[in-house]
Chains A and B, each alone.
Chain A
Amino acid sequence: MSARDDVLNRVRAALGQPGAGTTPAGKVGTAPAAVEVPRAYRPAGEHAPGSPEVLEQLVDRLVDYKAHVHEVSADTLPATVAALLGELTDGVRVVVPSGLDDAWLAALPAGAEVVRDSREQPQTAAQLDAVDAVVTAARVAISETGTIVLDGEPDQGRRAISLVPDVHLCVVRADQVTQTVPEAVRLLGGHPERPLTWISGPSATSDIELDRVEGVHGPRTLHVLLLASG
């Protein structure tokens, strides 16, 4: 019998289904009672996505994680991107996903080099390692947990580009900010097959005496550019 059939038969035996033999310890279990899952938890927050309360909470949580938050408008966004990249190094190299809004890069300093990445024309890991920063959009954010989710669409790019560079500039639109985890999960559930990366602050570890240290293997610096709707 194949391992698959064997394991499935053991599971059936453990649940008391007839004709399935026994588990390795020679046991036959009993059928569990039918279960109705109680779902009395909040399916959504009391504040609407993008409301001032939700935005304020997101900023509070992000700062708590030692992420840097910049509240911008469509007009000030390019200058903020340029300033944050410009302060890294002269001749900064930045990777962007192929579907990023070009307007966001309109004010880059002279000498800045933009590397475009896509699934069709991907940068290698070594190439990404030679890049200073990455700029992406986001799919959704959760204020209660200070979380931003990327889903790999053309304005967010392949998972590797927001991972290997040491500085991540992530643009989140105000109307993308939900209050609770269930609101975000249900939105993402529309395309569960997309590769998802949930980001809550810069990389961190608590492995040494449970003392939280920000900045390990993922980007050590996370800038969130919170883009006002309008």
Chain B
Amino acid sequence: MSTFLGLPGLRRSTGTGSTATGAGAGTGTAGGAVADEPFGPVPHPQEPLRWGDAFPAAAKQTLANDQLRRNLGHATQVIRTKRAAVVGEVPDWEALRDAGSGVKEQVMAHLPELLEQLERNVTARGGVVHWARDAAEANRIVADIAKAKGADEVVKVKSMATQEIGLNEALAEEGIAAVETDLAELIVQLADDMPSHILVPAIHRNRTEIRDIFLARMGDAPPDLSDVPRELAMAARAHLRRKFLSAKVAVSGANFAVADTGTLAVVESEGNGRMCLTLPETLVTVMGIEKLVPTFDDLEVFLQLLPRSSTGERMNPYTSMWTGVTPGDGPAEFHLVLLDNGRTDVLADEVGRSALHCIRCSACLNVCPVYERVGGHAYGSVYPGPIGAILTPQLTASSGGVSGHGDPNASLPYASTLCGACYEVCPVKIDIPSILVDLRAREVDADRSRSGIDPWAAAMKAASWVMADGDRFALAGRAATLGRGLGGRDHAISVAPPPASAWTRSRDLPAPPAQTFRQWWRDEHTDPAAGPAATPKEQR
């Protein structure tokens, strides 16, 4: 079994199976399907924003994984409690949310000018700004920089943007190994797995699984490694230390970029971010164009909102800020890659554009009853959970993500109960439920225009005819109980015949009960002495 880097499906299709660690010597599986996975089923995506089955089918599979549900249930409960405690102690939390939301709205309204201002300020301080229309273009830019530096290995800070563009796999095709240095990303990378959470990509793994992954894949893990988190963290420290001290090129994302100063900010915990941002000679930062804030002072809002919302800490252990190049301190060369990759399509949507306000805290994942049960992989995107359900379809709009017939991403807006918990906790007040409803409406509209007839209107007309008459309604009720035979042991109908198949394509239909309410009433109220109770008409 080979150890691959990052997105396994992509790696396999490239046929390059070399390892970053020297561990887990390959058995030549690269390029072909892998029959068994030593660390449980893992997704093998072709696209970071669109993989696997549509949500209903994918969720059905992950729901069957009891270990996953236990791990997630525990972790999300821990983080919810921590978040609630540290948010509760901030007297002006709601005012901060209002400000955060307002600043992001302002950013979107003035994005062209702010991007140009950022470019000017980064350039003035010795940085180089690149623009990328899409993932392929961004990957090309990073690969060319690494090659120009003669690097066959780059160290990476955890970054959603580089996950989204499949950078690790693109670099691997150029013979450049990308080494993830965030502990959770390292776990995911060593297990040949996919991230399942924005903040804690290995949230679906418990300590014992992580120990097993380290022992099998890390190469230099101590053989007597226990599953105590502290020991596991020390193993990662030892494993990565030499790489940090010798790396020539680092790749990062950015949490914030300040337009009026050209300052970039990365928020982290372990110090792996500082290592990458400080020690290598060359730093490449890949950033979505929406990550801007207008002024340096705006950081005072987000540096209060982000840590408390994400890790449930008053402040994360380390935040690094840098402005271009500082001679003698840190990288001598700094490249900033500004990435579109579908963001302008999101921006063009009057309702959906506020999805771009997201600061990737992951609070919405941790409170979501759907996410907690199905886990991140069911969403088939590096952006899972409620935010993923509105961001992924929109980011892939140009290839059918919102309304494409049969596009798995078009089913994502249904991955929600619309309970509203995500909106409650969102530090920048993204109205996720409303956007979900809007995206559902658009999916339905697109479906309607495709089929020619309007099944909704036809169904309503039929229902109106049935409900207008008591006899007809009773008859329809009795007919419906016949559908009980379609239900499984869980009393759910997963695949119904047309036209009900339109419903069961994206969700289960509860199996009808054995009798209608009218039948039940009659049975319950039958007085053996007096004969059947009088239920109107039904008795005739």
Contacts and interface: CB of A to CB of B under 8 A. Distances in A.
A159 B342 CA distance: 36
A10 B230 CA distance: 48
B436 to A, nearest CB: 19
Interface string B50-90: 00000000000000000000010011001100100000000
B229 A213 contact: yes
Contacts of B275: 163, 217-218
Contact of A27 (B91, B232, B258, B345): B345
Nearest to B322: A195
Contact of B237 (A35, A125, A145, A217): A217
A203 B271 contact: yes
B57 to A, nearest CB: 26
B183 A27 contact: no
B315 A147 contact: yes
Band of interface residues on B? 35 or more
Contact of A218 (B246, B258, B318): B318
A189 interface: yes
Given A38-B98, A199-B318, A217 B300 contact: no
Interface centre among B132, B202, B347 (most CB of A within 10 A): B347
A181 B304 contact: yes
Interface stretch (B144-152, B218-226, B326-334, B446-454): B326-334
A14 B347 contact: yes
B156 interface: no
B115 A8 contact: yes
B261 A193 contact: yes
Band of interface residues on A? 35 or more
Interface string A193-222: 111111111111111111101011111000
Nearest to B349: A29
Given A2-B131, A3-B133, A152-B329, A146 B269 contact: no
Contacts of A26: 398
Interface string A1-40: 0111011101111110100000111111111111111111
Given A203-B318, A207-B187, A185 B300 contact: yes
A122 B74 contact: no
A31 B105 CA distance: 12
A10 B315 contact: no
Nearest to A1: B133
Contacts of A40: 92, 95, 98-99
A182 interface: yes
Interface string B232-249: 111011001100111000
B516 interface: no
A205 B289 contact: no
Interface stretch (B203-211, B373-381, B487-495, B500-508): B203-211
Interface string B281-309: 00000000100000011011101100100
A14 B109 CA distance: 10
B321 A11 contact: no
B347 A206 contact: no
Interface string B182-218: 1110010000000000001011001100100000000
Given A32-B105, A160-B279, A197-B318, A209 B75 contact: yes
Interface centre among B108, B137, B315 (most CB of A within 10 A): B315
A181 B303 contact: yes
Contacts of B326: 119, 152, 193-195
A217 B269 CA distance: 9
A126 B245 contact: yes
Nearest to A200: B315
B109 A13 contact: no
A146 B89 CA distance: 14
Contacts of A6: 131, 133
Contacts of A37: 99, 102-103, 105-106
Given A120-B328, A207-B183, A14 B230 contact: no
Contact of A203 (B75, B95, B105, B269): B269
A29 B353 contact: yes
A192 B183 contact: no
Given A29-B349, A195-B322, A208-B207, A159 B274 contact: yes
A209 B75 CA distance: 5
A119 B327 contact: yes
Contacts of B300: 181-182, 184-186
A90 interface: no
Contacts of B78: 209-211
10 contacts: A15-B109, A38-B98, A42-B95, A158-B328, A196-B321, A197-B319, A198-B315, A204-B317, A205-B183, A215-B237
Given A185-B297, A206-B311, 5 more contacts: A3-B131, A7-B344, A14-B348, A195-B321, A200-B318
By Cβ-Cβ distance, the 9 closest A-B pairs, closest first, are A218-B271, A119-B328, A29-B348, A217-B271, A37-B102, A14-B347, A145-B315, A10-B344, A198-B319
